[in-house]
Amino acid sequence: LTTIYAHLDSSTTLAAMTAPAASASDVSDDPNSWGQLTSQSANGRSSVYERFERDGSKTLTHVFWTIEAAEKCRGCDHRFDH
């Protein structure tokens, strides 16, 4: 097996370019910065928001709501529950 899996060259087949990590200023608890609601669980507890960045990348925000918030309206975007 050593012979089969030995890598004798210094090149790699992995992409050399990786997406930059989000800076602390890009990550926010402000619900208005999360983007558009793209999916929500049937019980309303789990939501996924999607925001497109200027560089073409996409930021996904996963939110797990409290039982109380989910029980108010299972199909609602809980950011706007009052």
Domain ranges of the chain: 35-82
Greater confidence, 17 or 40? 40
**DSSP assigned state of 37:** E
Identity of the highest mean pLDDT range in 12-21, 28-37, 73-82: 28-37
In sign, the C-alpha dihedral spanning 5, 7, 12, 18 is positive
User: pTM (2 decimals)?
Assistant: 0.66
* pLDDT(50) > 80: yes
Q: What is the pLDDT of residue 39?
A: 96
What tens digit of pLDDT does each residue of 23-37 get? Answer: 545 678 899 999 999
